[in-house]
Amino acid sequence: MKIALTSVSIIFFSWYLLHSQNTLKLHLIDANSGEALIGAVIINKLNQNVYLTNNFGFSLIPAPSKSDSIPLLLSYFGYHDSLIWIFTSDSILKVALIPKLTLIDEVYVRGYSKNPAHGLIQLSAAELNRTPFLLAEKDVLKSIQSLPGIQQNREGSSNFSVRGGNADQNLILIDGIPVYNINHLFGFVSVISPDAVNQASFFKGGIPARLGNRLSSVLDITLREGNKNHLTGSLGIGILSVKATIEGPLRAKNGSFLIAARRTPYDLILAPISTLGGNRIGYYYQDLVSKINFPINKHNALFISAYLGSDKIYRAEFAIEPQNLVKYRTTWGNITSAIRWTNNSLDNTLSNFTFAFTRYRYLKDTRAYNKLLFGKQTDYLGFKSNINNIIIKENLEYTLATHHQINFGIENVFHIFNLGTNRTQNADTAASIGNTLYHNETNAFVEHIFKYKIITSTIGLRSTLYHLKNKSHLVFQPRILLELKISDATSVSASYNRMYQFLHLYANSTIGLPNDLWIPVSMNIPPASANQFAAGLKTSLKNISISSEVFFKTMQNVTDYRDGVILNNNFTNWDEVLSVGKGFAYGVEWLLDYHLSKINTSIAYAYTRSFRKHPDIKQGNWFPYTYDRPHNININLQWKLMPNKHISANWMYASGYMITVSEGNFFLGGYAYPDLSNRNNFRTPPIHHLDIAYSASKQKKRGTQTWSFGIYNVYARTNPFGYIYNITDLDNNALEKPTLQFVSLFNFVPFIAYEFKFY
């Protein structure tokens, strides 16, 4: 009887929840282009609940059935704020916000953070263009490096660490699909052009259950869909690359497309010149982004996106008499492609189904031919490694009741790892030796979001079943986020994340060279895990907003090289060279924003410490990790002189990173070798520099032209980029103690760029 009564009560309560409210599906778009506005803030003025639009511009807004209409305040960076009243009888409502050319203060909503979620930073396309960059190459990854808790690994590089972690602990997604190599030009340029970016969402804490399998952070980059109203585009040229973008509506304005391409032009000039000396030498990087948005009907839409990026170094040696040709090449790059189907036909529900493929490949080879033109290949020697992923996933957002939303989904990833294949071939024989692994990964998550008056809570669980050939790992990753609104201007929050990682990047260097390899877990190398606790405070006073977070993170089964390891990627047995250990990191982060009509200033500061311990490194003692860099400061100033003229300045300071310096030489067979057993015993000099940029736009007959000028490292600070060990003197005599020489690359670098946007 008790069981029956309980069942009836549950059914009645569920019926009450489902029928006591109506869910509005709000779709926010740009009034001019029709682009979805991702991460826009929606505030229900009846209960002060705050909602964000998802990666397709949609948001579910619960409304009690007793209300005929509700007021919503809409806010997005670079757009006019709007206060609208909507009828609760509507099911789907599309709202277009009007862009404006004003600065941040006019889109600042007092009492509400632009990013109401704890640990989340969202940057729109307009915000990604605010910071002056090295050689005027706008960069998504370098934009987020100006934020607290995010450290640039090396000066000028795209690689970054978050809260004391390594670069491989950051998950980079392009339209929800992982990208393994994030660098062009050996780390100085990231792989995605901002011209194709709609929104970048960066999670360093409070990571939702739908994202995971990295220990430190997630950067989710959403591509633009293209202008739905008219054909437009842009052409640009800078010191490093030439780029072009074209976008517009499909036939009868039913959908839209976007194509953005970028390439370095210098090898097209230098390679022919070098040919005159008998060696054709060149290097280039290129990337291509395309996306098609095709609405099927009011409730269904298809999105097809693709990314192709690569770097290539090449050299050709030839002789006229006798004729012969030898070609050397090293190339690496990513390919991603995805088909997405979004559906909102079910009441209270948004659905997103994705089928995708992603690949990262590294190839280095030598090819010999018997003639200069149309010759036959006579010899081949090459090494190749790659990762292929086939991904299928389904995500659902479901409004359960006025104050409750449930998100859940499932994902399957089939991994194909080629850890390295050596191939040789000549006229008589051919041989190939390699190691290919097939792993399967299944993820499922459920997340409950509760919003009521001053309290917001997000409780989620992510589970992963990772299957190797003869072994499986089943892990659970709970996520908790609580936020308490003390007043209209102040809120406090706390979060807990448990994360697992099944794939790691093992590098021959720390500057993002292409011969770095991604290695999965094995029979002897378990998955790494981390527990992160964080708490935050956000407040605002007139034109000033202040936020602060403290965190503590523990890590288990993290790996590092054993002492005395000499790497050879072609034949490395990773189980033998890696040591499994543990670590912890802690810190505090501050961000202050000051908004005026023409000037915006932000000051970011972070104090972070990170330590590791391995049984077979440094006698099992704790030691500071490579990215134990206590102090990081970033000051950014944006000044609008006139509506079409803008000055930006950025000053940054970072403590030096940790390296291992020999405390003396030991001699074997008359040869000197540095003693590197005292791991991470030296901190490099700190990095700091001031960068300034000026841009001016002018309206032309068929579009707008923009000139940008600037200087990277204005006061010519000699910042360490790398270092060289000297174990002998100039006469090649062995030194008793090695000397260390630092290398600096970017001392007072001026730049210029030109862009023309046509319509």
Residue 511's pLDDT is 39
Domains defined for the chain, CATH in brackets = 20-119 (2.60.40.3070), 121-758 (2.40.170.20)
Quote the CA–CA distance of 208 and 119 in Å, as a whole number: 10
Please state the pTM of the whole predicted model.
0.86
pLDDT of 291 > 90? The answer is: yes
Three-state secondary structure call for residue 195: helix
Q: Is the pLDDT of residue 374 over 50?
A: yes
pLDDT at 349: 87
Average pLDDT, the chain: 83
Calpha distance 352→302 (Å, rounded): 10
pLDDT winner (highest mean) among 333-342, 671-680, 725-734: 333-342
110 pLDDT more than 50: no
Query: Which pLDDT score, from 0 to 100, does residue 667 have?
Result: 67
Which two three-digit tokens encode residue 698? 């002018």
- Indicate the pLDDT class of residue 632, thresholds 50, 70 and 90: very high
Q: Which of 19-23, 117-121, 702-706 has the highest mean pLDDT?
A: 702-706
User: In this model, does residue 416 exceed pLDDT 60?
Assistant: yes
Three-class SS state of 562 = coil
The neighbouring-strand residues paired with 63 are 22
Portion of the chain with pLDDT greater than 90, in percent: 34
How many angstroms separate the CA atoms of 257 and 1, rounded? 61
pLDDT in tens, 124-176: 776 666 555 556 567 788 788 888 888 887 776 778 899 988 888 999 999 99
Most confident option among 92-106, 417-431, 553-567: 417-431
**Euclidean distance between CA atoms 447 and 229, whole angstroms:** 37
Length of the chain: 759
Residue 89 to residue 85: CA distance in whole angstroms: 12
What lies within 8 Å, CB to CB, of 264 at 6+ separation is 185, 240, 241, 242, 283, 284, 285, 286
Higher pLDDT, 184 or 466: 466
